[in-house]
Amino acid sequence: METVVGVEGNDEANLDHMAAVKTSPTPSSPTEIADPVVYTLVRVDGDGRLVPATDDEVMQVEDLLEDDKSEIHTVADTGQNVGCASSDGFPSSNSQFDGSEALILSKKNIPGQPERPEEVVEAANGQHDAGVGLGELNAGPEETVPLIAKSDDGRIDQPESGGECSNPLAIENGSPVSSVCTNSKPDFSKLKGEICLDNLSVRELHETFKATFGRETSVKDKQWLKRRIAMGLTNSCDFSTTAFVIKDNKVVMKKGKEVIENVDGALAGVSTVEAVNENCGGSLIGCNGQVENLQKYSGERLGNSSLEHDISVEDQQTDQRAAKRRRKPTRRYIEELSEVESKEYGGKLISSVQSSEDGQSPLISHVRPIRHTQSNGRPVVTRQDSLGGSGVQVPYVCRVRRSRPRENFMSLMKLQPSSMGMATKLVKKALGARGARQGNQIGNKVFKARSVSAWIQKPLVTESEKEEHYQVRKASELENDAELKHVDSSGDYSDDYIVSVPTEKGGMRRKHHRPWTLSEVVKLVEGVARYGAGRWSEIKRLAFASYSYRTSVDLKDKWRNLLRASFAQSPSDKGMQSSRKHASVPIPAAILLRVRELAEIQAQVPPNISSSKFAAYSSTNVHETRSGYL
């Protein structure tokens, strides 16, 4: 039972997706037995095709590895089961593999090779991004998943006739790859056989691009298109590790990429698999930072990307970036981009989960999804993770919060016995550290629900938090029940903060939503009146001191909404009560009116002056307003 599970590197490297080529152990090779790292060769042929390496080539590579292992930077001992060709590594410098060939390096885990706890954690929550992708590539042990595809729309050359593409490994429908992609957007049915990218026109490249990525592209640049397609066809591997280089209309892969293969399913360390460039530090070259650049600047540096230079491409990119400072693409952008590429692996996590009931989940082994139903009837999907022998079920999360968890959760952490650091981390990551505003409730809930409490104490509610609850409750005394529900002193905040939650009215409420109460709104308005819009942290500190769950951003957002509402409502001034759909807290027209006033005031006078000038007026006015409604 092999399980190929790809795992993203770390939180900061979400864009990494597993390499696509599943290599097979060749048990017959003594080298591999001796060496825990198995490198399998895949050749990128001169015309851009990928063909499996011949035995001879494999042997050559193995020789290379023997000759100079330092050329390959394997960083297993630093926690990364990643092999990367160094900048002076053989793909470019070794004449035997120059130009048109590239290596795809693969390392398989060897039983007994310890995995760092880190990796366990990463593996646990990285499966969404990467594991899904690799699962489908889990072909037979002796099989190298073909990565070549060609369009069958007839307009694409059939290179076999030319003799160059004489060794096509067609991806037929029903093959391990395409069969899993049935749910995905990219239409692989159009990609059969192989593509000699350099023979394609721009239009054809567009077609291919669409078939590959499931989306259109407007890029006219043939080189770029070819690069992208080649990348996509090689299973959307990570840019940074793949780094195709186009030379003379040939797609050449610059660096090896990595597939980790869990040969031994029973490996104690768990699903183990590590991902590629978890970081780019050290001697590893080509890493995350270049992803954006490759896309962004590829058009600009076409002339430069000859093979001889491709190693220094990063420098060039760096230079260019320095020369022209641009706003860095958001992480979301990058993620979405890489997400598109990963889609060709078919089912996202969601679909895997959904298919778990019929046993078709591509996630095998340790990451088998389990569907639970809580007492309240809400389905909770978790997965079983073997962690230190004890089964730990952690909820699935699609995306992990990448920034530091909020303090509340940290306080939870502090309450835990030190021995469960790993589990804490796991759970924390699994939770994405979301809901830390209600950190205790969350953690509490999860731990209780998942029965991992054996080694995780139920977190205590600190005194300050009790106080907090009390204050909230007190402040909400005049509010409607909806609010009271949430501040129920029992501390049971329900699951409202885990995922979206069905409301009483059947709707779906957002994750950590806490309805704004009227008094909160009033406080906000008052605060804005007093301190001026924009001084959110000040308002938060002074007017919302007891509302720990309202961040300054929340205040800002709410104010924004209030403004919108007030300006939208102002003309009619009536009929809004009905127009609000889920009007849990209908905002009285008077308040909206006040909001509008303030908005106008703030717009006219700079905040610093207006704050004092209108303080008295604002205050009284708001209080009047409030008295009328409370």
Partner DNA sequence: CTTAGGG
Partner DNA sequence: CCCTAAG
Which residues lie near DNA (CB under 7 A)? Answer: 327-328, 330-332, 399, 401-403, 432, 434-435, 437, 510-514, 516, 534-538, 549-550, 552-554, 556-558, 560
* Residue closer to DNA, measured from CB, 66 or 336: 336
Lookup result for tokens 């795809």 = 104
From the CB of 334, what's the least distance to DNA, in Å? 8
From the CB of 317, what's the least distance to DNA, in Å? 17
* Residue closer to DNA, measured from CB, 448 or 560: 560
* Residue closer to DNA, measured from CB, 324 or 373: 324
CB 53 within 8 A of CB 86: no
379-387 vs 369-373, strand pairing mode: antiparallel
From the CB of 511, what's the least distance to DNA, in Å? 5
Helix ranges (DSSP H) in 451-551: 463-475, 481-486, 518-531, 536-543
> What gap in Å lies between CA 578 and CA 176, rounded to an integer?
55
From the CB of 509, what's the least distance to DNA, in Å? 9
Cβ neighbourhood burial of 147 (10 Å; 0-12, 13-18, 19+): buried
CB 4 within 8 A of CB 180: no
* Residue closer to DNA, measured from CB, 35 or 468: 468
From the CB of 552, what's the least distance to DNA, in Å? 4
* Residue closer to DNA, measured from CB, 372 or 511: 511
From the CB of 328, what's the least distance to DNA, in Å? 5
How large is the angle between the packed helices 407-414 and 421-431, nearest 10 degrees? 160
> What gap in Å lies between CA 59 and CA 31, rounded to an integer?
10
DSSP 185: S
Nearest-5° Cα angle at 550, 508 to 597:
95
Q: What Rg, from alpha-carbon coordinates, does the chain have?
A: 28
* Residue closer to DNA, measured from CB, 11 or 344: 11
* Residue closer to DNA, measured from CB, 181 or 533: 533
* Residue closer to DNA, measured from CB, 22 or 535: 535
From the CB of 244, what's the least distance to DNA, in Å? 25
* Residue closer to DNA, measured from CB, 166 or 330: 330
* Residue closer to DNA, measured from CB, 49 or 550: 550
- CB under 8 Å to 561, separation ≥6 — which residues? none
CB 271 within 8 A of CB 127: yes
> What gap in Å lies between CA 208 and CA 198, rounded to an integer?
12
> What gap in Å lies between CA 438 and CA 459, rounded to an integer?
12
Lookup result for tokens 């704050």 = 611
Question: Any bridge partners for residue 372, and if so which?
Answer: 380
From the CB of 330, what's the least distance to DNA, in Å? 4
- CB under 8 Å to 484, separation ≥6 — which residues? 473, 476
User: Among candidates 266, 237, 256, which has minimal Cα distance to 109?
Assistant: 266
> What gap in Å lies between CA 47 and CA 52, rounded to an integer?
14
* Residue closer to DNA, measured from CB, 176 or 607: 607
Lookup result for tokens 């780094």 = 243
Provide the CB-side half-sphere exposure for 40 (13 A, CA). 23
From the CB of 338, what's the least distance to DNA, in Å? 13
From the CB of 404, what's the least distance to DNA, in Å? 7
* Residue closer to DNA, measured from CB, 17 or 108: 17
- Farthest-apart Cα atoms in the chain, separation: 88
Question: Any bridge partners for residue 253, and if so which?
Answer: 244
From the CB of 506, what's the least distance to DNA, in Å? 19
> What gap in Å lies between CA 57 and CA 62, rounded to an integer?
8
Terminal CA-CA length for the chain:
66
From the CB of 403, what's the least distance to DNA, in Å? 6
* Residue closer to DNA, measured from CB, 462 or 537: 537
* Residue closer to DNA, measured from CB, 466 or 510: 510
From the CB of 308, what's the least distance to DNA, in Å? 33
CB 272 within 8 A of CB 260: yes
CB 363 within 8 A of CB 412: no
From the CB of 544, what's the least distance to DNA, in Å? 11
Nearest-5° Cα angle at 265, 260 to 268:
95
